[in-house]
Amino acid sequence: MEGKTALVTGAAGGIGAEVVRQLAGQGVTVAAVDRDRELLHETTQKLAADGLGVLPFPADVSSAAEVEAVVEAVEGRLGPVDLLVNGAGVLRLGGVGQLSEDDWNATFAVNTTGVFLMSRAVVRRMTARGGGAVVTVASNAAGTPRMDMAAYAASKAAATMFTKCLGLEAAAHGIRCNVVAPGSTDTPMLRSMWHDESGPRATLQGSLDSHRLGIPLAKVATVTDVADAVVFLLSDRASHITMHTLTVDGGATLGV
């Protein structure tokens, strides 16, 4: 992967930041994209101080104008984008009866529309060059119903199928499009769902009240676990894999 250029969204923290670190550690020049300008600069400065080729490009993936502008800026400064990771995501919790239109629209704006806008902008350029790889970070909730997560699960299901349809269309141009579906991962997003000391225990053991299985491997994923899967699907080791979902959830969805 050395010498390639990657664009990673949701790069300021969590899984996205770890993907950036791993790619840069393999000699990839990485454009780190996130709408949190302050945290993005803090994250990229730390990586750059370690000698890694990472540059910040603040942008909101839910804005078509900002997406087109940032892709143009990245390619103008770093060269053609070879690898795209759609890692930006938001979570709005609540039962369907309690979700507001803003909750729904905000969730889909980032988790689904953002994937569409960024993929469209980058893959259009990849198509003209005849090659590339895309990975969308979705969720195991895309295929398994979850209480109080209807908006999130639906948005990730839509992003998953969009990515696979894109992969079908782009295959003739040598472009691979895959999905990584994490389960519970130790990130600020997961911790925001824990309100007391029972949170981690319920995640590991499951909950009959919410019809949720626990995690057979009895541990929460680390961001490294998920980033490893993303980087694998971007690499030449996955050169014959496309339109695939790689689930990284410790068995929480029983391989279904």
Q: Tell me, yes or no, whether 200 lies in a domain.
A: no
Domain range spanning residue 62? 5-185+223-245
Encode 62-99: b = buried (16+ Cβ within 10 Å), e = exposed: bbeebbeebbeebbeebeebbbbbbbbbbbbbeeeeeb
Annotated catalytic residue: which of 118, 152, 164, 226?
152
pLDDT tens, per residue, the chain with 256 residues: 999 999 999 999 999 999 999 999 999 999 999 999 999 999 999 999 999 999 999 999 999 999 999 999 999 999 999 999 999 999 999 999 999 999 999 999 999 999 999 999 999 999 999 999 999 999 999 999 999 999 999 999 999 999 999 999 999 999 999 999 999 898 877 667 656 666 677 778 888 888 888 999 999 999 999 999 999 999 999 999 999 999 999 999 999 8
Distance CA 72, CA 76 (A): 6
Rg of the chain over Cα atoms, rounded to whole angstroms, equals 17
Q: Tell me, yes or no, whether 253 lies in a domain.
A: no
Q: Tell me, yes or no, whether 202 lies in a domain.
A: no
* Model pLDDT, residue 199: 63
Q: Tell me, yes or no, whether 140 lies in a domain.
A: yes
Distance CA 235, CA 6 (A): 12
Q: Tell me, yes or no, whether 39 lies in a domain.
A: yes
Q: Are 7 and 33 in contact (CB under 8 A)?
A: yes
CATH number for the domain including 101?
3.40.50.720
The predicted model scores a pTM of 0.95
DSSP 99-120: --HHHHHHHHIIIIIHHHHHHH
Q: Tell me, yes or no, whether 198 lies in a domain.
A: no
Q: Tell me, yes or no, whether 207 lies in a domain.
A: no
> What residues are paired with 137 via a beta bridge?
180
Q: Tell me, yes or no, whether 195 lies in a domain.
A: no
Catalytic (active site) residue 152: yes
Number of independent structural domains in the chain: 1
* Model pLDDT, residue 107: 98
